[in-house]
Structure 1
Amino acid sequence: MPAPAGARAAGRGQARQFIINGRFLASQPVGVHRVATELVRHAHSLIEDDPALARRIGMKLWIPADAEERAAALGVPYRVIGPLTGNAWEQLTLPARAGRDTVVSLCNVGPVLRRNAVTMLHDVQVLLSPESYSANFRRWYRLQQPLAGERHRRILTVSEFARDQIVEAGVAPAEKITVIHNGCDHVLADGADERVLEKLGLTQGDYALALSSTQAHKNIPMLLRAFARPELKDRILVLFGSASREQFVAAGHHVPSNVRFTGRVSDNELRALYENAQLFAFPSTTEGFGLPPLEAMRLGTPAIVAPCGALPEACSDGALYVPFDDPAAWTKAIAAIYDNPQHRGELAARALGRAKRLTWDRAARNLLNTLLSL
């Protein structure tokens, strides 16, 4: 890997050391944890496979005691650092034990009082869509994100859109922010578990797939309205994720009878759902990046998304765009994919072509170059 501009060799021939904040491995995985996992795994592989690079940079994964199960599954060497767990470990134990090494945090939160740190802020959604988060979450993020932006050596983010939002929110200046686009090829790592189709009473191509979330900015009620319309009454909408039918009803939303909820699914089951869906629908009103449609696209499934947030940047010409607030337009776009196989085939080819350009190897190289350029 070529040396980035401004990079200097480590003193006395020793590799420069960076500590990866592994607290994310103690939590139930969500989207930002997937990003951290893939960046750590691929950066480690790049260093292992390139002796010249290994002489310049070293990465050490440090975790709290309650993260060891997921750390072991990651397949990267790690070190359990005590005492404490949770937020106290991240804000007290980790910076106290890190010495002179730079601490790299990849999941929105880092040790806020430490200056020798690099933190990835995936978005400032807590400011853009505060109703999607609890009061305590909002208070913590509104405190720690500006502190990280002011004190840490560099802020990483996942899109030009997210960078602009971070700047507009006054969290960090543009010159301090590096954009590292996500990859999406992790969906190829796990084989598809087709049994999930039988369990849910589905067959290939007879359903549209979407994320199940009651967060306001995910905008799933718009899809519920679309699938309640006569044109889609015989089509099935499958929602995967933790939010249940009862939660949508409790929030005041009508859930039509042609909507099915999977609950949480494994990576193998999710791949099968992506691959066998007629299409993937993602009507979010804002996203820092937007991994789910790209995961579907990487498996050759057409994606319909709203032209909001970073979605046009991430999906580029590989997705079909429909206004986030127009159920009739979504109904028409979804019906057209079902009714016109040639149209679906063209969209699928565009989707795959775009998604193939976004790899975790590329993202990890950008991360290593950024760290070496500090």
Structure 2
Amino acid sequence: MRTIAFNGKFFGAAPTGVHRVAEQLVAATDALIAAHAGGDVDYALVVRDRVNVPRYRNIACIRESRWARRMHRIAWEQCYFPFARRRDFILNLCNLGPLLHRDSATMIHDAQVYSSPDSYSLPFRLWYKFQYFFIGKRHKIIFTVSEFSKRELVRYGIASADKIVVVHNGCDHVFQVRPDETLLAALKLTPERYVLALANTQRHKNIGVLLKAFADPALRDIELVLFGGATRADFESLGHVVPPNARFAGRVSDAQLVGLMQRAGALAFPSLTEGFGLPPLEAMALGCPVIAAPLGALPEVCGDAALYADPFSVPAWRAQILSALDDESARQSLIASGYGQAARFTWQSAARSLVESLRAVTGATR
């Protein structure tokens, strides 16, 4: 019987959007197997650390030896892991994977090391470009998360279009989280009178346009709440002027983020490029209006359920923020259309696309 081995290096690593997607896909695949038991393929999750892993019903968890755990993560992934699982089909969900193992599939979420190089350090760019060159040529399937990302991967020569399979993210995981609204009191926020955005200094996230917009007197009574790792000092060190109505929530838990989204006036997402853009869909699922830049995969993901603003126009962002918060008719229309748009993106559907593609390439019958 054939085994498909998930590369579980993301368990125990610092939380990122890519890691969240990987965890949800493994869980949804496990549920899908439970609904369609049988077939001639096994699934296994291979981890190298003593980390907490969810209890899966149909995916075996394989923990590597103590010797393997002492290896550097790159050496483990590139040398030990493909050797230890040499008879298996390896599935990598976090952009990179073992180059020596041809019987593999890898999910590359975007091509931003090419399209937005200023957002990454030189060593990071070189390592990812080196990996992408060989992964795109050697691995049997390249998964990605949007039609936009697929076009980008083809454009930059990472893989041919016939090798790339699009698996959209889901957003229904937010319904499994009990909201924690304690940050509203801690930050002295008034429900529906604040706008959420990422605290991220990467150039392509384009948070500077929001800082300028919230310096406008027209928005002086609305708070900009930035969640994530970047601090006020990080933005100021890059030359940004942080307005007095900006609040930094820091890193938040899933429960705190859901609590903030449910009571926000809007989520602002001014990115210059995105491979997918999961926070806007999460916000829509929770009844939070979304204002986004019409770039990257955001129009594909948000459809007609978001307001769009020129990413370089401060007046455009000011106007759309006021519309989302103060125009009750527009606000209710956004909330209703957001629910419908978010409902189209489920992890069950994502897992089904993933498994069907794997079945085709591995020859599994079910």
TM-score range, shorter chain: over 0.9
Structure 1 contact 318–355 (Cα < 8 Å) conserved: no
Q: 1:71 aligns with which of 53, 65, 71?
A: 53
Q: 2:234 aligns with which of 247, 252, 269?
A: 247
Q: 1:55 aligns with which of 21, 32, 39?
A: 39
- Give the corresponding residue for 1:42: 28
Equivalent runs, 1:1-374 vs 2, <5 Å: 14=1, 16-51=2-37, 54-65=38-49, 68-72=50-54, 77-82=60-65, 83=68, 84-374=71-361
Rounded Cα–Cα distance in structure 2 between residues aligned with 1:73 and 1:249: 44
Instruction: Give the letter for the 1:78 counterpart.
Output: C
Structure 1 contact 282–305 (Cα < 8 Å) conserved: yes
Rounded Cα–Cα distance in structure 1 between residues aligned with 2:205 and 2:52: 28
**Aligned alpha-carbon RMSD (Å):** 1.3
| CA offset digits 1:76-97 (Å, max 9, x no partner) | 6411124124111111111010
Q: CA deviation at 1:146?
A: 1.0
- Give the corresponding residue for 1:4: none
Structure 1 contact 212–241 (Cα < 8 Å) conserved: yes
Rounded Cα–Cα distance in structure 2 between residues aligned with 1:342 and 1:356: 22
Q: CA deviation at 1:19?
A: 0.3
Instruction: Give the letter for the 2:343 counterpart.
Output: K
SS at match of 1:23: coil
Q: CA deviation at 1:295?
A: 0.6
| CA offset digits 1:178-220 (Å, max 9, x no partner) | 0001101111111001112111111311201111100000000
Rounded Cα–Cα distance in structure 2 between residues aligned with 1:155 and 1:318: 29
SS at match of 2:20: helix
SS at match of 1:92: helix
- Give the corresponding residue for 2:364: none
Rounded Cα–Cα distance in structure 1 between residues aligned with 2:206 and 2:55: 34
Q: CA deviation at 1:342?
A: 1.6
SS at match of 2:178: coil
- Give the corresponding residue for 1:11: none
Q: So what's the TM-score if we normalise by structure 1? A: 0.93
Unaligned runs of 5+ in 1: 1-13
SS at match of 2:197: strand
SS at match of 2:345: coil
Rounded Cα–Cα distance in structure 2 between residues aligned with 1:74 and 1:200: 38
Rounded Cα–Cα distance in structure 1 between residues aligned with 2:333 and 2:140: 45
Q: CA deviation at 1:72?
A: 4.3
Rounded Cα–Cα distance in structure 2 between residues aligned with 1:361 and 1:56: 21
Structure 1 contact 284–324 (Cα < 8 Å) conserved: yes
Which is worse superposed, 250-259 or 329-338?
Answer: 329-338
SS at match of 2:249: strand
SS at match of 2:353: helix
Percent identical:
46
Rounded Cα–Cα distance in structure 2 between residues aligned with 1:287 and 1:254: 25
Rounded Cα–Cα distance in structure 2 between residues aligned with 1:311 and 1:177: 20
How many matched pairs? 356
SS at match of 1:234: coil
